[in-house]
Amino acid sequence: MSDTATNTHNIHIEIFSDVLCIWAYSAQIRFDQLKQDFGNQLQLQYRFIPIFAAVEERIGQGWKDKGGFAGFNENLHKTAASWDHVELHPKIWLQNRPKSSTVPHLYLKAIQLLQERGIISGQPLAEHGGRSLFEAWFWRIRCAFFEETQNIGEIAVLDAIAEDMGIPVVPVHELLDNGEAHAALHLDSEARDHYMIPGSPTLVFNDGRQRLYGNVGYRIIEANIRELLYNSDSGEASWC
């Protein structure tokens, strides 16, 4: 379909990931490119799922026969060896490791709620490469973990990064304290179950008819989006 074809609708994409997932960390460059290529034709909604909600069980016990955290560290470095768009600290998962991704996920939901309510801007910001403040903070804590091995499972670490980026910490804590962030994260879990999300990252669009999971190339994602944007029959079964 030609790029000059008439677009009659916008696309809503739900992106499911765990903040501690290396594949989602690597994939963020593709989501940023989608925004550059399609602009306001796309609405990206970030959702968070508990892949690393219990780190000791998932890695410490789950990798017990493969070297535990040391084996997991070695595996991540092998995985990322050919990547040139992200950095990985030599001691990732060996020092300052979070106990759970739930804490940063709750903090993310609180900031997301502040954006939805207009307390912080949701507009793309040039100083953050076109990301909104929420998206920029999301990327910053991922980098803090993967590049710097900061323990982003601690509220104090998240507060420091938020304050450094000009995000008001007091209303964030209010949403954590009154349970609203927890309720929002629960809705992400319900959406995960509804769509039968297999893991992180997973993109869901076309009202749940299409899912792209894992290390999916940009051109595949782009082709699916163009089919939905420019094909008037995209509500039916798609060839793409």
Q: How far is CA 137 from CA 52, 110, 166, 195, in A?
A: 20, 12, 10, 27
**The tokens of 198 are what?**
């297999």
State which H helix or E strand residue 32 sits in.
Answer: helix 22-38
Q: What is the pLDDT of residue 233?
A: 58
Query: 11-230, which class in CATH?
Result: alpha beta
pTM exceeding 0.75:
yes
The separation between the first and the last C-alpha atoms of the chain, rounded to the nearest angstrom, is 11
Taking alpha carbons only, the member of 32, 192, 166 closest to residue 111 is 166
Measured between alpha carbons, how far is 16 from 202 in angstroms, rounded to an integer? 5
Locate 147 and state its tokens: 């590049």
Q: For residue 3, what pLDDT is reported? A: 44
How much is the pLDDT for 94? 98
Sign of the alpha-carbon dihedral angle for 212, 216, 218, 223 = negative
Q: What is the pLDDT of residue 232?
A: 54
8 Å CB contact between 195 and 45: no
What is the mean pLDDT for each group of 10 consecutive residues in the chain (240 residues)?
50 96 96 91 95 98 97 97 95 98 98 97 88 96 98 98 97 98 98 96 90 93 90 49
- What is the C-alpha separation between 60 and 1, in angstroms, rounded? 49
